[in-house]
């Protein structure tokens, strides 16, 4: 099983049900179990991205104000594994105005406003389609690294036992 480290709030938006695609500049042939790790790097809103996400969450789920969403995002855990999912597909992102949509592509305008707000949906990038997403009941502390990498067997066992089996 593989693991990828994401900065918050993007890591916790996946098990929260707000993010069904992880957007990347690179393609991966890997399909299978993917562990989602929240990097230890503290969140920064210098560029306004966290505020924008809080507003997008409010627009999608108005039961909370943007300020309440912002506070929730700010409370997301750091430096731990938060979820496991299946990496079901890796689709090239196509802007129909710039290129022909084909079977292994995802038209950028076909995803929700929220999904576009929580990823970089630029033409030519890749959308890693996630399925069967399960939040860990208790985050597992873990040191992250960049890139898609294999998860150590003993950590994989902890993750699987945390979600109730061998998935």
**How many domains, the chain?**
1
The answer to whether residue 40 sits within a structural domain is yes
pLDDT tens figures, 36-91: 999 999 888 999 999 999 999 999 999 999 999 999 999 999 999 999 999 999 99
Q: How far apart are alpha carbons 98 and 95 in whole angstroms?
A: 5
For strand 21-24 and strand 126-141, is the pairing parallel, antiparallel, or unpaired? Answer: antiparallel
Peptide bond into 68 cis (omega under 30): no
Phi/psi zone of residue 20: left (φ > 0), alpha (ψ -120 to 50 degrees), beta? Answer: alpha
State the residue range of the domain holding 131: 2-162
Determine, yes or no, domain membership for 8: yes
Confidence of residue 97 (pLDDT cuts 50, 70, 90): confident
Residue 103 domain flag: yes
For the whole model, what pTM was predicted?
A: 0.91
- Write out pLDDT tens, residues 1-36: 999 999 999 999 999 999 999 999 999 999 999 999
Residue at 167 is within a domain = no
- What is residue 74's three-state secondary structure? helix
pLDDT in tens, 100-157: 656 566 667 788 999 999 999 988 899 999 999 999 999 999 999 999 999 999 999 9
């Amino acid at each position: 099983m593989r693991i990828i480290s994401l900065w918050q709030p993007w890591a916790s938006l996946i098990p929260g049900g707000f993010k069904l695609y992880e957007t990347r500049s690179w393609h991966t042939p890997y399909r299978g179990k993917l562990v989602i790790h929240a990097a230890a790097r503290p969140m920064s809103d210098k560029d306004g991205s966290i505020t924008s996400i809080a507003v997008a969450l409010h627009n999608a789920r108005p039961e909370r104000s943007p300020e309440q969403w912002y506070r929730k995002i700010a409370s997301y855990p750091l430096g731990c594994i938060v979820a496991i999912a299946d990496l079901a597909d890796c689709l090239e992102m196509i802007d129909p105005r710039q290129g022909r949509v084909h079977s292994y592509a995802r038209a950028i305008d076909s995803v929700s406003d929220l999904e576009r707000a929580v990823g970089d949906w630029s033409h030519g990038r890749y959308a890693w389609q996630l399925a069967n997403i399960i939040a860990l009941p208790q985050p597992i502390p873990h040191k992250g690294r960049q890139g898609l990498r294999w998860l150590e067997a003993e950590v994989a066992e902890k993750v699987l036992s945390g979600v109730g089996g061998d998935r």
